[in-house]
Amino acid sequence: MIKRLIILFAFFFSISFVQSKENTDSIFTIAIGLGKQNLYLQAITEAQKALASDKSRGDILVYIANVYSWNNQNDSAFTYVEKARLNGYLNDEFFSSWLNILFRSHQFENLLSACEVAAAGGYGNKEDLLKKKMLAFSGLKRWDEGILLARNNEPLIKSMGMEELYAEMIRNRNTNLLTAAYTIDFFDAKDPEQLLSAGFGFRINKVTMELRANGANRFGLQDLQLECDGYFPVFKRSYLYLNYGFGFGSNLFPQHRIGIEYFFPLWSKTEGSLGGRYLHFAQSDAIILTGHLEHYISKYWISYRPFLVKMNNGNAMSLLTDFRRYEKNGQNYWGLEFGIGNSPDDHNSLTQNGTYNVLNAYRIKLNRNFLIRNVSIVRLGFGYNLEEFQKDDYRNRYELGLIYRFRL
C-alpha cells in the first residue's frame, strides 16, 4: 500500500513539474519575443514572471541582464549578472553576455579583467575574447598593447574581419605622417610638366598640422612654394581648416595663398562646408568662394565642390565631383573624379604668367587608393583633360600621379 502511494505521489509530482516547466518556458518565450521587438520594459516584466516560477533558471537571469543593458540600464544589468554568477550559471552564454554588458557600459578596465576570468572559466569563444580585448585597449587608448595583441594573433584578426580596428589603432598611435607626391602631365605636342611635393604632418592635442613644400617645372620655368595646413576642432564633429602658402618665384605659384573653410555635419553620414581662398599674384588677385557637400551610402561616397572665382580680368566657375567605392578596411577604394572648369585647389590650373586660368576645361580621373601593412598608403591616379589653353583652342592633357604616405 505504501509503495503504491509513493508511486502515485511521484506520478503527480512529475506531472506538476512538467506543467510548471512548460508554463515557465511559455512565459520566457513571450519575453524573448518582446525583446526582439525592442519592447524592453514588457520583456523584463514577462521574464521576471517566468523567473518567479523557477528561481534556478540562470538563462532567464542572463536574459534579463541583457535586456536591461539594451535599455541602457547597466546598473540593473550587473545586478542580474551577479545573481546568475551566484547561481552557478557559468557557461559560454553567461561569459558572452557579461563581456558585452561591460563593453556597452564602457567599463574597459573591468572588461580586460573579465576577459581573463572568462578564459580561466573555460569560455570557448576565442574570437570574442580577442575582439573584446582589442576594443578594451582601444577604449583605454592603450594603443601599443592593442597593436601587440593584434600582431600576435594576425591570422585570427584577418579571419574575423578586424583589420580596420587594428589599422585604426595604428593611426591613433602613429600620428606623424610623411607624404610625397609626384604628378607628370603629357600633351599632344609639348614637353611634359611636372609637379612634386613633400610634406610632414603631425598632431598637437586635437589639432592636426601639415607642412609642405611644392616644386613645379612647367613652361621651361621652375618655382617653389611652402604651405602650411591646419585642422582645428570647433565642436564635436565640426572643424576649421586654415591654409597659408608662400611662392618664392611667383611665376608658377601665387606669391601668397590663403585658405579658410568650416566643415560641419548636416545629418547622418552627410557633411558640408563653406569657405574661401585668396590668391595674390604679381599682376592680379583672385578671390574664390567654395564649399562642399558629401554623403556616404553604404560603401559608397560622393562629394560635390563648386568654386566661384572673381578676378580683375573676369569671373569663372568650376565644379568637381568625386565618387568612391570603399572596401572593408576603409582605406582601400576606387575613385572617379569629374571636373568642369579649372580648380583653384589644383596647382596645374596656374598659367605661366603666375595667374589663375579662367578658361574652360573638362576632366576625368581614375584613382586607386590602398593600404600597405597598415602604415603606408599609396594612391595612383590617371586623368584626362580636354582644356582650353587659349580662347577657343583646346588641347589634350594626360595626367599620371602618385601619392605615398607613411605613418611614423
Query: Is the pLDDT higher at 9 or at 96?
Result: 96
Q: How far apart are CA 160 and CA 30, in angstroms?
A: 33
Q: How far apart are CA 136 and CA 36, in angstroms?
A: 27
DSSP 360-387: -EEEEEEEEEEEETTTEEEEEEEEEEEE
Residue 356 carries which DSSP code? B
The answer to whether the beta carbons of residues 238 and 216 sit under 8 Å apart is no
Q: How far apart are CA 36 and CA 154, in angstroms?
A: 35
> Does residue 303 carry a pLDDT above 60?
yes
Residue 119's pLDDT band (cuts 50, 70, 90)? very high
Is the overall model pTM greater than 0.85, yes or no?
A: no
C-alpha cell at 143: 594603443
Summarize the confidence of residues 336-343 as an average pLDDT.
88
pLDDT at 347: 60
Instruction: Calculate the average pLDDT of the chain.
Output: 87
> Does residue 20 carry a pLDDT above 80?
no
* Partners of 371 in the β-ladder: 377
Summarize the confidence of residues 277-290 as an average pLDDT.
88
Most confident of 158-167, 234-243, 278-287, 336-345: 234-243
> Does residue 15 carry a pLDDT above 70?
no
